[in-house]
Chain A
Amino acid sequence: MSGLTKVILVISALGLAACDNVTGGNSNTGSLTGGGAGGVADQTSPAYFQQEIGDRVLFVVDQSTLTTEAKGILLSQANWLLANTDYTATIEGHADEQGTREYNLALGARRASEAREYLVSQGVASNRLKVVSYGKERPLEICSNESCYSQNRRAVTILTGGLTG
């Protein structure tokens, strides 16, 4: 199990789209099972962070303001990061496809930065948190309507580090 976790973390650190398919999203919740160390039931595990706390927050069209729900998830993320200091994180900002490429890169940067600032405001050291924007380059859902767009307008907290043992 810990071997699997390592693989997941390495893929995540590379920032590839494939990581989304491996590490979660609502459709994959529960794909990492088992109660051992590194599993979902282990509250110190990345799997717990991804699936139980939620590694992502969603945004309204063309907005980067955090919703009440997003703030709740980020508060839990902050508490987890404060308790698990071996980890650092990169926050990926994304946009839906309804926008020009450059603007969406800038919009994704705003979203990732909003999430980062909230984590910092809750006490997470700023040097543990990087941001990167993918604009509209890495959609999770591929239909062209709001049901997909709402899942693609997101900021995802990708854990790195913690590769001991």
Chain B
Amino acid sequence: MRVFLTGVLLAAAVLTQTGAAVAQNGPLRIEITDGVIEPLPYAVPSFIAETAAANEMSAQIARVIASDLSGTGLFREIPASAHISKVTDFNASVQYADWKAVNAQALITGAVSVNGNRLTVRFRGYDVFADKELDGGGLQFTGTTDGWRRMAHKVADSIYSRITGEGGYFDSRVVYVSETGPKNDRRKRLAIMDYDGANVQFLTNSASIVLAPRFSPSGDRVLYTSYESGFPQIHVMDIGKVQRRVLSTDDGIMSFAPRFSPDGRTVVFSQSQGGNTDLFTMDINTGSLTRLTSAPSIETAPSFSPDGSQIVFESDRSGGQQLYVMAASGGDARRISHGKGRYGTPVWSPRGDLLAFTKQNKGRFHIGVMRTDGSEERLLTASFLDEGPTWSPNGRVIMFTRETQGASGRSLLYSVDISGRNLRPVRTPDGGSDPAWSPLQN
């Protein structure tokens, strides 16, 4: 936990550490792996505005932190109306008894100052029932005012990490397909937003169908499939500049289902020729192609293992859709899914220990997880149509597409904890599908 937190701090260029680290682990800890039934109660009073210009932002930052923490399902906020103590001085001693009285096991305090467009956020976390600060001490983030939500997410990530011992995921983004219009006239645009649905930005117009965007490992580029040429082809976009290019240029050959390798140099994808769909890799710089499979069956939805050595994909070579794992260079593949029904869209978790997938059985769709050898399958959701899982950067949460039934059916984004708890919609301005979660931002 200490080592991990140090990593977060080093990775965040805008961070400076102000407080001294506490020497030993405190008792306040959520062991997520054991499963959490009762969320941990906490309080996050409005941060103290240290300059007049920070008045509004100091309250908003506390609200975003609360939204992040409570949104995990692991924490429960004690509302401000129940607070006994008012925190008016960031450096004053905390009245532990007042927070114990309202059963706030964790307390987060902070101070915000705004000078011009420069924003400074300081915060501390407290283990109320141990009468002390959380390990890690006070921290300070500095940046520009337009990045205030990101700073709130970084505070929440830090608190989450200290209490769970796991990496955070709040300072991250999601690229997805924004959808408007009825089923028979659906308009699709590529869009990017913060993980919680804030700051939506559209990356393409709706003139062409776009499908299944995927982040590069560094989060700066996105692969997606576009029908701009009249045929599905893979495009890569620099999301900072919103510049794009076509990766494959062979007219009339359909390419889709791209994903980056962990080193960002290779793209694995499907190509259909003569009605047969196989897997290929392409060197993203030279464009050179390598064929990975050559079977008359459908091979698609490939995903690299985090170490880059293996690829999981779906194939109907045994008759129906099932999951297979092979070496990243291709060759023999081992079937790993054996349950009833059909399995598709496998995605390797960032930790490497689990695969998320879509399962169809008896007319229902499920998002599920299994070990990479196919064991310990667990279904997390069930609906008319759930598909296309993507992992949070810490491997704790899965976001996916849920489409509702019937003539008025629409697609929305949902997320669920890998325990199967905390199923919730992700707020988007229009419909949404095909989410892809970014790595944690720097």
Q: Known contacts A100-B345, A113-B275; is A142 also within 8 Å of B182 by CB? A: yes
CA distance in complex: A99, B314 (Å): 13
- C-beta contact mask, A119-140 vs B, less than 8 Å → 1, else 0? 0000000000011111001111
Most buried by B among A105, A111, A133: A105
In this complex, which of B183, B232, B298, B345 has the most chain A Cβ atoms within 10 angstroms of its Cβ? Answer: B183
Interface residue count on the B side (C-beta < 8 Å): 43
**The one of B227, B298, B405 that contacts A107, using a Cβ cutoff of 8 Å:** B298
Judge whether A15 and B272 touch: CB under 8 Å.
Answer: no
Q: Determine which of A111, A133, A140, A144 lies in contact with B254 in the assembled complex, contact meaning CB atoms within 8 Å.
A: A133
Tally of chain A residues near chain B (CB < 8 A): 38
Q: Measuring CB to CB, which residues of chain B are less than 8 angstroms from any residue of chain A?
A: 182-186, 209, 211-212, 227, 230-232, 252, 254, 256-257, 270, 272, 274-277, 298, 300-301, 314, 316, 321, 344-345, 358, 360, 363, 384-385, 387-388, 403, 405-407, 409, 434
Instruction: Decide: A97 near B298, CB < 8 A? Known: A113-B274, A132-B254, A144-B405.
Output: no
A100 with B344: CB separation less than 8 A: yes
Q: Is the interface of A mostly helix, strand, loop or mixed?
A: mixed
| B186 x A106 contact (CB < 8 A) | no
Complex contact B230–A132 (CB within 8 A): yes
B184 near A100: Cβ-Cβ < 8 Å: no
Contact (A101, B211) CB under 8 Å given A106-B272, A144-B406: yes
Contacts of A142 in B (CB 8 A): 182-184, 406-407, 409
Interface pair B254/A105, CB less than 8 Å apart: yes
Q: Contact between B211 and A137 (Cβ–Cβ < 8 Å)?
A: yes
Determine if A64 and B254 form an interchain contact, defined as CB atoms under 8 angstroms apart. no
Would you list 16 pairs from A and B whose C-beta atoms are within 8 A, ordered by A residue? A17-B185, A101-B434, A102-B300, A102-B344, A103-B300, A105-B256, A105-B270, A109-B254, A110-B276, A110-B298, A111-B275, A113-B274, A132-B231, A137-B209, A142-B406, A144-B384
B403 x A97 contact (CB < 8 A):
yes
For the complex, what is the distance from the CA of A105 to the CA of B300, rounded to whole Å? 10
The 6 A-B residue pairs whose C-beta atoms are closest, nearest first, are A113-B275, A106-B277, A109-B272, A142-B183, A100-B344, A106-B298
